[in-house]
């Protein structure tokens, strides 16, 4: 078995440059011929897509609040079993998580998995203070091992010299790299974060530039010589698949692109054959489906194209009304409403299964972890089933479908989500790793249905 090295690229805060550093390292090491496995702490959907662009491999989320520690450890070792190096990208600041206990933080992931930490510090407004920040972060939790520091946004040779001298006076942690300020390397953003990899006009150009940026600073060599071997663990054997094909249509295009890789794996392990289709481009559903999974994403950016695809909207509405199982999250739920009002105030017709319309707002409407309990029996499981997930959106739903029941009771006692027919929809992105029985229940519900009679041609 070949050796493995692993590191978590974490930062002192959001915006310090850890995504750029992580992507640069992934791209540079992949260009060297190494098999690089990417990971992202927290519930992020966007950065894993960029990781995949840099490494050519599916990147996985590591979130110890949503996923039990044993399952998270198995996920990590399963994904990295054939890799030369695993590179995780942190979220926010190293110790920032949910509430006062920091649950779900990058620090918790590093403790759980025993990952050494490469700390990224934004040095553009600091000199010797970089050393003080580095020492404070390295000593805050003695259970963590900060293997080195990267000082980002260095403005001049003199600036770098000051930082290098201050860091040299400390025994720990060492300075592994000084990265010059390069505004042209910034990745474009929009309302939910960075632009998705599929939407970048020339996606490989910024990755090549980031790889050259970290290589020129000597960071790649410094990291490789600093990382100790990482102990591999046995990978659990996959469960035997249940008999019979269960074809579940998976909405997957630029409008519907927010899916956890582990959710898809658990659905497949439960017996699903996931069949991708595009609500933007496909005028018919794939044939012989037993159910639908409508993931979240950016339907508001593609509302006109979704509205123009009237034949697919009509077929999905017919499938929902006929009682085929459907699971819709966030953007998928908006797609099932009567209308979607974009950020310019223009309304577009959607599927129309649920009464009401989604309205984009200029300010964020919700952000945070959610623990929920199913309020009713549905394709995801029996009433009382508990799961965890995350919510992040700028839209709100206007109007309530009088025929729809509440889907979830949240941990604060509030209710959310819609359930009608066999369609379960909500703003919450569930992580099936929090309760794998949800995958089994959904596939079982789909298995009970005959193939959907999709029109051909």
Q: If we measure between CA atoms, which residue out of 134, 139, 26 comes closest to residue 88?
A: 26
> Has residue 233 been placed in a domain?
no
Do 113 and 152 have their domain in common?
A: yes
Burial class (CB in 10 A: 0-12, 13-18, 19+), 1: exposed
pLDDT in tens, 65-74: 999 999 999 9
- Extract the tokens encoding 176: 């592994």
Do 255 and 174 have their domain in common?
A: no
Q: Evaluate if pTM is beyond 0.85.
A: yes
Query: Domain boundary residue among 226, 254, 274?
Result: 226
Q: What is the mean pLDDT of the chain?
A: 92
Query: Domain boundary residue among 177, 196, 226?
Result: 226
pLDDT in tens, 130-182: 999 999 999 999 999 999 999 999 999 999 999 999 999 987 899 999 999 98
pLDDT, residue 310, reads 98
pLDDT, residue 189, reads 56
pLDDT, residue 236, reads 73
> Has residue 455 been placed in a domain?
no
Do 201 and 313 have their domain in common?
A: no
> Has residue 272 been placed in a domain?
yes
Residue 325 structural domain: 246-447
Work out the average pLDDT over 316-320.
Answer: 98
Do 326 and 383 have their domain in common?
A: yes
For a pLDDT cut of 90, what percent of the chain falls above it? Answer: 84
Q: Residue 205 — very low, low, confident or very high, per pLDDT cuts 50/70/90?
A: confident
Do 265 and 202 have their domain in common?
A: no
In CATH, what number is assigned to the domain containing residue 276? 3.40.50.880
In CATH, what number is assigned to the domain containing residue 47? 3.40.50.300
> Has residue 241 been placed in a domain?
no
For the chain, how many structural domains are there in total?
2
Of 43-47, 167-171, 183-187, 267-271, the range with the highest mean pLDDT is: 267-271
CA of 347: how far to CAs of 122, 360, 365, 412, in Å? 42, 10, 19, 33
> Has residue 453 been placed in a domain?
no
Query: Domain boundary residue among 159, 194, 226?
Result: 226
Do 20 and 163 have their domain in common?
A: yes
Work out the average pLDDT over 33-47.
Answer: 95
> Has residue 240 been placed in a domain?
no
For a pLDDT cut of 70, what percent of the chain falls above it? Answer: 93
Q: If we measure between CA atoms, which residue out of 196, 208, 203, 213 comes closest to residue 255?
A: 196
Do 320 and 443 have their domain in common?
A: yes
Work out the average pLDDT over 436-443.
Answer: 97
pLDDT, residue 102, reads 76
Do 210 and 250 have their domain in common?
A: no
Do 343 and 261 have their domain in common?
A: yes
Residues designated catalytic: 330
> Has residue 234 been placed in a domain?
no
Do 14 and 67 have their domain in common?
A: yes
> Has residue 108 been placed in a domain?
yes
Do 199 and 272 have their domain in common?
A: no
Position 455 pLDDT exceeds 90: no
Do 165 and 262 have their domain in common?
A: no
């Amino acid at each position: 078995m070949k050796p493995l090295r692993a590191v978590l690229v974490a930062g002192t805060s959001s915006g310090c440059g850890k995504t750029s550093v992580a992507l640069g390292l992934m791209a540079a090491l992949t260009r060297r011929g190494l098999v690089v496995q990417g990971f992202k702490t927290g519930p992020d959907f966007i950065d894993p897509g960029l990781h995949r662009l840099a490494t050519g491999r599916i990147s996985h989320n590591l979130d110890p609040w949503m996923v039990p520690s044993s399952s998270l450890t198995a996920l990590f070792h399963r994904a990295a079993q054939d890799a030369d190096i695993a590179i995780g990208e942190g979220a926010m600041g190293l110790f920032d998580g949910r509430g006062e206990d920091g649950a779900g933080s990058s620090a918790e992931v590093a403790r759980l998995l025993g990952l050494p930490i490469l700390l990224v510090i934004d040095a553009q407004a600091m000199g010797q203070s970089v050393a003080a920040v580095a020492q404070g972060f390295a000593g805050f939790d003695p259970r963590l091992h900060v293997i080195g520091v990267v000082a980002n946004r260095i403005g001049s040779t003199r600036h770098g010299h000051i930082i290098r001298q201050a860091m040299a006076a400390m025994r720990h942690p060492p300075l592994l790299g000084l990265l010059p300020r390069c505004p042209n390397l910034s990745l474009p953003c929009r309302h939910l974060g960075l632009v998705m990899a599929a939407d970048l006009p020339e996606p490989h150009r910024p990755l090549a530039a980031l790889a050259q940026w970290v290589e020129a600073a000597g960071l790649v060599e410094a990291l490789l010589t600093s990382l100790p071997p990482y102990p591999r663990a046995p990978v659990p054997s996959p469960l035997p698949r249940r008999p019979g094909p269960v074809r579940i249509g998976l909405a997957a295009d630029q409008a519907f692109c927010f899916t956890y890789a582990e959710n898809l794996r658990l659905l497949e392990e439960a017996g699903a054959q996931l069949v991708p289709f595009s609500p933007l481009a496909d005028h018919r559903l794939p044939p012989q489906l037993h159910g639908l999974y409508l993931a979240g994403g950016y339907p508001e950016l593609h509302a006109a194209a979704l509205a123009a695809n009237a034949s697919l909207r009509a077929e999905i509405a017919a499938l929902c009304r006929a009682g085929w199982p459907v699971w819709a999250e966030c953007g998928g739920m908006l797609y099932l409403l009567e209308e979607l009002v974009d950020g310019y105030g223009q309304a577009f017709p959607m599927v129309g299964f649920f009464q009401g319309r989604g309205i984009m707002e200029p300010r964020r409407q919700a952000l945070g972890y959610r623990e929920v309990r199913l309020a009713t029996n549905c394709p995801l499981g029996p009433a009382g089933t508990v799961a965890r997930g995350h919510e992040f959106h700028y839209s709100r739903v206007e109007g309530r479908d009088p025929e729809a029941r509440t889907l979830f009771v949240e941990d604060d006692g509030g209710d959310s989500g819609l359930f009608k027919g066999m369609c379960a929809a909500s703003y919450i992105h569930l992580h099936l790793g929090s309760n794998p029985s949800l995958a089994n229940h959904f596939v079982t519900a789909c298995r009970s249905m005959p193939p959907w009679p999709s029109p051909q041609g």
